[in-house]
Amino acid sequence: MASLSDTNIIKRDEIDNMLPMELDDDGIENDSKQEGFLDEHEIDDENRKMFLHRSFSKSNRTTIRRFDEVFRKSHILLMTIGIAMMFSALALWGRLRTPVLRFRVDAPSSYYSHDHQSAAAFNQTFKIMQITDIHLGEAEYTDWGPEQDAKTFRLLEKIFEYEPDCDLIVLGGDQLTANNCLGNCTKYYGILGRFLSKNGVPWATIMGNHDDMAFEVEDGTGATVPHSYTRRDLLRVDQRFALSLSQSSPSDAMTGVTNYVVDVLDPVGTGIALQIFFLDSGGGSLKEAINDDQIQWFRKQAGLNTVPAVIFQHIPTQEYEYNDGICVGYQGEGVAEVEYDAGIVNAIVQSKRFKFLAVGHNHGNDYCCRYDNGNDNNNDQYSTTNDLFLCYGRHSGYGGYGKWDRGVRMYELLLTSDDGSDESVSTEDAAVGKEFKWRTWVSIN
């Protein structure tokens, strides 16, 4: 706008008739100005200077021009700094804010319906995609190593298209083949984070046995070179991304790095409807084990709430042995179990909260088994149950051993308000689940 000193140049009626600058549909300034339009740039740089030229001597005019030039440059500099600070603040806010997980209120599903499902039923669903053993960075010094990473990302892109309504991705361990990667292999966690961010779905990470395994020298001697980075360094790279829900263990003294709990809330309100537990089963720089201090932490955390829960770790336990009578899915190899598990499966069963324990590690297996804990009150494999299921994810990457089909395991968790009655239920009331059900399947592309 013009200053007070310019009022003898701009008439009052002209100011009253000023119109905003015209914009085309794409936001570009239109060259054609409406009648009465006054360009502020012309007022400041031309009309004001014309007025100054009539009022001051030549020396004064030179001083004014220099002052005006310095003022404009300072103004541009301040604007640049301000814009930079604004974008820095936005970037920091994006890193600090944490996504909130919630059940979604969906229409009733025929898959879960009773013989009589009322029109008043509301389903609250939450879907988890387990991506495990992608083994990025394997043989990075060869031609085929980087190519198999590219194939892994192409596969996952297709999976995302096929499973578009996922609410959480669980990175189930061995995101990296550190024993084939020399140098600062944390870069692959950055590559993975940028790739997942494009999908727009939050993720949570657990460590596997290969993520920080020492580099194996290719000279036939069996020599290894320890990495300069740690499991915590890998996790810090993961946590830089706004969509990461990954957490570190509550104490540096605790065994393992990724022991934590993530809450899933009701569709409305702040009530917790589900808890997802994560355990670091070691490997690499650690013993492949669930240790006693982890079990103590788990029992304490499991006792703090009574809502349904599920749990993920990378390496299976001995209870994962395939049994034709209670297992469904593909068995391509045996079970490479942890060296010590501190009784984790029994602790899970005793809590009476957990629906399944999910692992990876064995690339040839993707089956789920009902754990026989003496509870015979339910014969429906994927329904409301106090039984625990032990599930393998599907080998998700082209890194790592084996030629089995790659894919992911999906878990659909459901809280339903349906009780078979015709009583109407509002969406606000749907936040209180009357029954918990779940199902799982393998998605292969």
The whole-angstrom separation of Cα 256 and Cα 298 is: 13
| pLDDT higher than 60, residue 38 | no
38, burial (CB in 10 Å: exposed 0-12, middle 13-18, buried 19+): middle
Contacts of 103 (CB under 8 A, 6+ apart): 124, 125, 126, 264, 265, 266, 267, 273, 274, 413, 415, 433
The whole-angstrom separation of Cα 194 and Cα 204 is: 14
Q: In terms of domains, do 194 and 333 share one? A: yes
Nearest Cα neighbor of 231 from 217, 248, 245, 251 is 248
Question: Look-up: residue for tokens 């301040």?
Answer: 78
The whole-angstrom separation of Cα 139 and Cα 401 is: 12
Span 360-371, pLDDT tens digits: 999 999 999 999
What is the mean pLDDT of the segment spanning 423-439?
53
Span 283-307, pLDDT tens digits: 999 999 999 999 999 999 999 999 9
Domain boundary among 55, 71, 96: 96
Span 39-67, pLDDT tens digits: 333 334 444 443 333 334 455 555 556 65
pLDDT score, position 67:
55
Q: In terms of domains, do 91 and 112 share one? A: no
Span 151-196, pLDDT tens digits: 999 999 999 999 999 999 999 999 999 999 988 899 999 999 999 9
The whole-angstrom separation of Cα 32 and Cα 20 is: 12
163, burial (CB in 10 Å: exposed 0-12, middle 13-18, buried 19+): middle
- φ, ψ of residue 235 to 5 degrees: the values are -65, -35
The whole-angstrom separation of Cα 356 and Cα 311 is: 6
Q: In terms of domains, do 122 and 144 share one? A: yes
Structurally, the chain folds into a number of domains equal to: 2
Q: In terms of domains, do 72 and 132 share one? A: no
Could you tell me the residue range of the domain that residue 47 belongs to?
4-96
pLDDT score, position 233:
96
The whole-angstrom separation of Cα 63 and Cα 52 is: 11
Q: In terms of domains, do 136 and 50 share one? A: no
**pTM for the structure as a whole:** 0.74
pLDDT score, position 224:
92
pLDDT score, position 2:
41
Q: In terms of domains, do 240 and 154 share one? A: yes
Amino acid of residue 105: V
Q: Which helix (H) or strand (E) segment is 231 a member of?
A: helix 231-239
Q: In terms of domains, do 108 and 85 share one? A: no
Q: In terms of domains, do 67 and 127 share one? A: no
Nearest Cα neighbor of 411 from 167, 158, 114 is 167
Tokens of 431: 């936040």
Q: In terms of domains, do 91 and 134 share one? A: no
Alpha carbon of residue 114 to chain centroid: 34
Tokens of 316: 């299976």
49, burial (CB in 10 Å: exposed 0-12, middle 13-18, buried 19+): middle
Q: In terms of domains, do 47 and 21 share one? A: yes
**pLDDT band at residue 270 using 50, 70 and 90 as cut-offs:** confident
443, burial (CB in 10 Å: exposed 0-12, middle 13-18, buried 19+): middle
Report CA dihedral (356, 362, 366, 370) to the nearest 10 degrees: -40
Q: In terms of domains, do 67 and 208 share one? A: no
Q: In terms of domains, do 222 and 325 share one? A: yes
117 or 331, greater pLDDT? 331
pLDDT score, position 415:
87
pLDDT score, position 445:
77
Report CA dihedral (104, 384, 430, 244) to the nearest 10 degrees: -30
| Three-state helix/strand/coil letters over 315-383 | CCCHHHCCCCCCEECCECCCCCCCCECCCHHHHHHHHCCEEEEEECCCCCECCEEEECCCCCCCCCCCC
CATH number of the structural domain spanning residue 307: 3.60.21.10
Q: How many CB atoms lie within 10 A of CB 345?
A: 20
* 341 neighbors 317 (Cβ within 8 angstroms): yes
Domain boundary among 45, 76, 96: 96
The whole-angstrom separation of Cα 355 and Cα 383 is: 10
Span 350-405, pLDDT tens digits: 999 999 999 999 999 999 999 976 555 444 444 445 689 999 999 999 999 999 99
The whole-angstrom separation of Cα 38 and Cα 13 is: 12
